[in-house]
Amino acid sequence: MGDDKTGPIALAAPRAATVRRDTRETHIELALALDGSGKVEVDTGLGFFDHMLTALCFHARFDVTLRCKGDLEVDDHHTIEDVALALGSALDQALGSRADIARFAHAYAPLDEALARAVIDFSGRPSAHVALGFQREAIGPVATENLTHFFRSLATTARMTLHVTMLAGENDHHRAEAAFKATALALRQAVRLDARRGSEGGDVPSTKGSLGE
């Protein structure tokens, strides 16, 4: 029998990145490993946001260490936006040329009565459509509008197309958590390495031969 080339390919190098972001509004230090086991250490000063980030990285099976000191005396916007930008940038760096990745993925995640769908294309072209249908202005210290903004900011620096849609749900905590978990599951699939992309490795999943360059 011939060799089976349908499984995951061997990792040539660690797919990882570190990002440091310093502005007058936030100070962020982030380390990301794509091929991890879901070890997450997050501290942004926003309990509910930490809960969402932990769910995102754990279910994506990313190893992430993240510290953010933001101007929470103003509000939560800068912290959430800049964390999303830093995480997206780390994703982009860790993916490199994006050779051999699955690229496309979709996933559903329920949480009790809530059901979310996430669809991803690591196209190299930033685009986001996010429809979560929140009813409350805030969940804990986090404005719900900033949760929507998180996904849009993440898509921008990760250079991906991202659709996150709420299909059902009444409780806004459940809506938010389902959205983060669905995105996590789609990320996990989209970044996976697949030998079917090329027996020698290095095959970029695009008819153009490159993604976003």
Residue spans of the domains in the chain: they are: 16-197
Q: Measure the CA–CA gap between 150 and 159, rounded to whole angstroms.
A: 14
Tokens of 165: 């849609």
Q: Measure the CA–CA gap between 29 and 130, rounded to whole angstroms.
A: 27
- List the single range of 18-22, 32-36, 96-100, 120-124 with lowest mean pLDDT: 96-100
Prediction pTM value:
0.88
pLDDT tens, residue by residue, 112-152: 999 999 999 999 999 999 999 999 999 999 999 999 999 99
Q: Which fold has domain 16-197?
A: Ribosomal Protein S5; domain 2 (3.30.230)
Predicted pLDDT of residue 194: 79
Q: Measure the CA–CA gap between 129 and 100, rounded to whole angstroms.
A: 26
According to DSSP, the β-strands at 142-143 and 161-168 are: unpaired
Predicted pLDDT of residue 197: 45
